[in-house]
Amino acid sequence: MRKLTFLLLFALMLTVVKAQTEDEKQLRAIYDMALTKGKAYDWLNYLSNQIGGRLSGSVQAQHAVEYTKAQMDSLGLDRVWLQPVMVPKWVRGTAEFAYFETSPGLTTNVPVCALGGSVATPDGGLKAELIEVQGLEELKELGEEKIKGKIVFYNRPMDPKQISTFNAYGGCVDQRYSGAAEAGKYGAVGVIVRSMNLRLDDYPHTGSMSYGDTPVENRVPAAAISTKGAELLSATLKLNPAIKFYFNQTCKVYPDVQSYNVIGEIKGSVYPNEIMVVGGHLDSWDLGDGSHDDGAGVVQSMDVLRLIKASGYKPKRTIRAVLFMNEENGLRGGNKYAEVAKQKGENHVFALESDAGGFTPRGFSFDTDDANFEQIQSWEKLFKPYLIHLFEKGGSGADIGPLKEDAIVLAGLRPDSQRYFDHHHAENDTFEHVNKRELELGAATMTSLIYLMDKYGPIKPKKIKG
């Protein structure tokens, strides 16, 4: 009996070792292909340099839809299609211009850009006195008496003590998103917001903002100012509280237009009705060409399907690459994809998004239960040779968030974040700031996780007997 037990244990150990060896070989093959025959960098080159910024509703966004569909068509996937979605159309107009005036006729220019969704300034621009605040709470403390008729200058910086720059971003982005709506309640005539950037430079960073339920006639224009501009403006305002600020922007909101999510699929060989998604968002802001945000995630997701096919691995489950439209100023693509999936009764079991730049991958974050997270943690040793060692619970991706339900595992690729906000939503989010090798490592890391999740499958939650 003891001998039989020993033989069974030995056989089990051999099975585990064999599986580990197979997985090690598969991951090695994936990384080798990505680093020597990857397509992500070439695709990104075209998206960035031939198409450029891809703001929802723009001609460039439509060109990106057509290009990525054609590229996925060329991969020999089982199915490629466009999913219609109505998206907002906001146009920046002519280049913004701003200065502050220390005395009549004595002005200093500062770099600004309109926030996405903002209304224009009055014809000829807007000039008024400034009041500086550190956030929405201080705005409430000052009240209408001190704010009415002035331009509110939100100058709370990202916290440099935060090692995760995304946490630093989350700590102050409310002033950008809600600043205009809140300032308007107290009679402000305009809003200037310090750019969401840890570095001091001359690039203003745009981004989405919302007026909430503010009537159209009461909406005030909102612009971002570069971090160096904000420092200069704040220092000058302390010396001379009576300075005036001028800015001019001609942006405009048009009626919604039709666009598309772009979807490519490899059909599962064993469980075709279990769907795994890998994706990024195809739209970007218009100041740069959107290489890091989120051209990188788009081309990495496309390359996941290509690498799966090229490796010879036959997935058990259906794997889809979804290139979502309108993450930046509406999340319409993510919401539409989840809506259609629910209407069709599709069974999504896993979704992975890359929307944190094309920098060196460090690992993943997961929105899942303990059982699935423990299984994922058991794969850490497979990723160790590739210097991937971040596996943590909490957060995934904005576009895949609408798919969330108890049975699905959501994940986000987590590259090194230290340089991300140097480029985020700014004019310098361009192709030359993406490193080819880092981008390819990200694609290989995503493909490896997709492979492991497909091979071993998410752990389904146990049904509680009633």
pLDDT means per 10 residues in the chain (466 residues)?
Answer: 54 52 96 97 98 98 98 98 98 97 95 98 97 96 96 97 96 97 97 98 98 94 98 97 97 98 98 98 98 98 97 96 98 98 97 98 97 97 97 95 93 98 98 98 98 94 54
Q: According to the model, what pLDDT value does residue 13 have? A: 47
Cα separation of 357 and 340, whole Å? 28
Contacts of 350 (CB under 8 A, 6+ apart): 276, 277, 317, 408, 409, 410, 411, 450, 453, 458
Q: According to the model, what pLDDT value does residue 407 have? A: 86
Q: According to the model, what pLDDT value does residue 2 have? A: 61
- Quickly count helices (H) and strands (E) in the chain: 13, 16
- Geometric angle at alpha carbon 329, from 404 and 190, rounded to 5°: 135
Q: According to the model, what pLDDT value does residue 414 have? A: 98
Report yes or no: 245 and 128 within 8 Å, Cβ to Cβ: yes
Q: According to the model, what pLDDT value does residue 56 have? A: 98
Q: According to the model, what pLDDT value does residue 462 have? A: 62
Question: Which tokens is 399 given?
Answer: 């576009």
Radius of gyration of the chain, Cα coordinates, nearest whole angstrom: 25
Q: How far is CA 321 from CA 103, 263, 440, 446, in A?
A: 57, 6, 17, 12
Q: According to the model, what pLDDT value does residue 380 have? A: 97
Cα separation of 379 and 250, whole Å? 52
Q: According to the model, what pLDDT value does residue 3 have? A: 61
φ, ψ of residue 162 in degrees (nearest 5): -75, 120
Q: According to the model, what pLDDT value does residue 406 have? A: 81
Cα separation of 419 and 421, whole Å? 6
Q: According to the model, what pLDDT value does residue 463 have? A: 53
Cα separation of 355 and 298, whole Å? 9
Query: Helix or strand or coil: residue 329?
Result: coil
